[in-house]
Amino acid sequence: MKKIKLTDDTKKGLLQALLKRSPSQYGAYEKTVAEIISRIREQGDQALFACTKEFDHFETNASNILVTEAEIDKAVDALEPEFVKVMEKAASNIRSFHEKQVRNSWMDVREDGSILGQRILPIARAGVYVPGGKAAYPSSVLMNVIPAKVAGVPEIIMTTPPSGDGSIDPATLAAARIAGVDKVYRAGGAQAIAAMAFGTESIPRTDKITGPGNIFVALAKKAVYGHVSIDSVAGPSEILVLADETANPRYVAADLLSQAEHDELASAILITVSEKLAQQVETEIEDFLSRLSRREIMEKSLENYGYILLADSLSDAIDAANEIASEHLEILTENPFEVMTQIRNAGAVFLGEHSCEPLGDYFAGPNHILPTNGTARFFSPLGVDDFIKKSSIISYSREALEKAHGDIELFARREGLTAHENSIKVRFEQ
């Protein structure tokens, strides 16, 4: 990890380095992604099956692209019962948290006969992308699907790339059943995103696509946005630990590595006012690296995007944390709740030494699909609101419109829109 003094210049350099990890920086892949999307739009299933054979080395067709209920039964039976129970507990926590986000339609009826309101409805069909291949993340299935179910989405489909023999990770399928997915399809990569965005003979068009993926998936989501809604164009994972001299260095080191192990582009940052803590954390990291399984990935991540920033004051440390706007922010200070009140930008905030980041990844209930690459300045975690749409309701009686028609006509005239003005005036012709 790079240990540097926190100054305006070093902070600026750090922010520039982190932004290089954004999917928007990988323009070299955009042409390939655009070609795949175009093929799916024009050829539907034919192109989808060809891409699956080319990229996932499995021959899909109309009869095997849909994962059957029997296959899901087999997958659930293949898992140890203890793990299934853990997923069910996690699902219950996630559901309980997101149920508190539900909002209701409302109407405001006034004495003059005007009625204003907002109607809230779920989208008709949600599409969830789940990575396959080297890693399987059933936790992401739960996090993507359960908010949609709580929002009342009538149909939720899922796509995930098959292995060479056509199989799907059993934990992924079990999580899909626990969360309430309606249909699971064998499709991955940019071609799966295109299929959910535009529809094919086998895969129906969706209204929103959520879920993580590699650079091709991220760029495909970016390309289809506007034809369909998406959650975000997510970048690599990141953690920022804000700590003072009271923090346990072993906990800090363990938590930094919990994100560094995701991939070589993951970012792990410690901001502290304590030189002693910084040194202790470095020692603990070396100890953990000698014993943990994904050492090579973690070492590369820390070499590229691992930082220990030494701040002159806690106030400076908090300012830096707000500018970095990390996906995960742990506050390990003497009074974490007080510090939290000064945090404006973070995807998820973890308070105190026993609130480590994996708690949020798997079990606590808040969503682990979070804004990355500084977008926590203006984006929020995935939630129920991502799966609803709102319509404004307006109803005026003649009496109510009569009081306002002169004002509306004046506004329309000032904008030079005479037909707008006329639409109001004709209702008061003698």
Chain Cα centroid distance, residue 378: 13
Q: Which of 87, 89, 90, 91 is nearest to 75 (CA)?
A: 87
Q: Rounded to the nearest 5°, which phi and psi values hold at 380?
A: -125, 165
Strand 388-395 to strand 115-122: parallel, antiparallel, or no bridges (unpaired)? antiparallel
Task: Assign 373 to helix, strand or coil.
Answer: coil
- Classify residue 154 as exposed, middle or buried by CB count within 10 Å of its CB (0-12, 13-18, 19+): exposed
For the CA atoms of the chain, what is the radius of gyration?
25
Q: Which of 189, 99, 209, 112 is nearest to 147 (CA)?
A: 99
Residue type, 24: S
Residue 328: active-site member: yes
Residue 303: active-site member: no
Q: Give the DSSP H/E element, type plus range, for residue 389.
A: strand 388-395
Residue type, 256: L
- The answer to whether 47 and 201 are in contact (CB under 8 A) is no
Which residues have CB under 8 Å from 340's CB, separation 6+?
331, 349, 351
- Max CA distance (Å), the chain: 89
Q: Rounded to the nearest 5°, which phi and psi values hold at 258?
A: -65, -25
Among candidate residues 328, 368, 409, 421, the one labeled active-site is 328
Q: For residue 53, give both structure tokens.
A: 């054979």
Q: For residue 212, give both structure tokens.
A: 């993580």
Sign of CA dihedral 258, 262, 265, 266: negative
Among candidate residues 327, 353, 357, 421, the one labeled active-site is 327
Give the residue numbers annotated as catalytic, written as ranges: 327-328
